[in-house]
Structure 1
């Protein structure tokens, strides 16, 4: 009898482990707010980390401005991202055709090797978009509209914080420049580049992360407290990739099938 009870316990434990790792169990966390991550390409391309290399996309011309990196889905109860809510992610480029110009300009992927950006859009949609309450077209459209609403480069510039190859700015001044526009709804994130590890380094402004309502319409106060990882002073390097006129082409047949 004791052996039967032990076997039953093992079977029950195995069943619970399987359920806890299943997509249905992971979906128990429900996203109730979003985080718009805007990347500064000047810092990304100036990074000295070997794991980060900057390549110009094959399609379109990325702006010398903050670029959308992702619109992430979060659960305010846990404070953690909710991801991968669809077992079989269905990504189509056709719903995005009317916004391709803006996607190539403001949602460009600078990773190497050079690419059209579409694999990144697919990855973001499958990771976060399928967990949102938005369809694919609205998901990308609202990310672009939110970027325009935040206008970080304009607001930093209006306070005299402009990209510079050698100058540093105080984190306090950066925060003060953004608060009048978007309130206390954002976090400034830095990439630390070591000059002489571990004592000498520069912090580069790499991202601005903004909390957004679950429908992607409004900027909100962050439900979970978030602190910047930057030091007291921050570098804000100019964008280093070339900006030249490029003919934007429609996706090829293979890309349309992504």
Structure 2
């Protein structure tokens, strides 16, 4: 009887843990911007959207919900399929700030569809019932984190020169208030270059916050050297 009782208690605990895990909500977002010059120079080829060559500025790469552990969910069930008509007032800003560089050339709608379907749907508890708020908030964050202006104010410019990674992080932290996580890729000659800037955003507030250490550890190797190239675009 004692053995049966012990087994029953353990089973009950496991069931409770399963319910807790299943009901756990994400904790924060990664807001990711990328430098188009590095995106194009790394692959050796990129295709400008049908709207024309994007401005020489950091563009949005993603706005993705994560758990503090660094885990995340994708392709969550949703009845809110991407619909450009719901985003009509945002389309000009999306073209300017979230363009696709994938080949073949497109009007970038496929990129926005991918990001919403894969990641945006998993933030529905925040943005229910429509996708409009998801894209609108992402654009607001882009305005609050003008990475190119921040770096240029610190004398760090996209001119093909190499800059200290520590100086890049320091410049962003001075303005944003929190240190970013930087991802690098390599140019055709194998040199490390500035590629993406990760900032963390609170679950409920449209504001930046410290990134959880456990989550950052799951991002892996940044690919950056102590000095990185900032190529022109």
TM range (shorter): 0.7 to 0.9
C-alpha distance 185-83 of structure 1, shift in aligned 2 (>3 A)? farther
What TM-score, normalized to structure 1? 0.74
Q: Shift of residue 85 of structure 1?
A: 1.1
Matching residue of 1:7 = none
CA shift, 1:174, in A, is 0.6
Match of 1:71 in 2: 63
Q: 1:194 to 1:107 in 2, by over 3 A?
A: closer
Deviation at 1:80?
A: 1.6
The answer on whether the counterparts of 2:41 and 2:187 sit within 8 Å (CA) in structure 1 is: no
| CA RMSD between the two structures | 2.4
Asked if the contact 1:60/1:101 (under 8 Å) is kept, the reply is: no
Distance 1:41 1:233 in 2: 19
- Would you say the 8 A contact 1:31–1:73 is kept in 2? yes
Unaligned runs of 5+ in 1: 1-19, 21-25, 196-200, 240-258
Q: Which runs of 4+ in 1 moved over 6 A?
A: none
1:161 is paired with a residue of what secondary structure? coil
Unmatched 5+ stretches in structure 2: 1-17
Tell me the TM-score normalised to structure 2 length.
0.81
Residue 211 (str. 1) matches residue 206 (str. 2): no
Confirm or deny: 8 A CA contact 1:171 1:231 kept in the other structure: yes
Residue matched to 1:116: 107
Contact preservation (8 Å) 2:200, 2:208: yes
* Count of paired positions: 207
Structure with greater helix share of residues: 2
CA offsets, 1:57-89, max 9 Å, x none? 01355221000011011011x212221111666
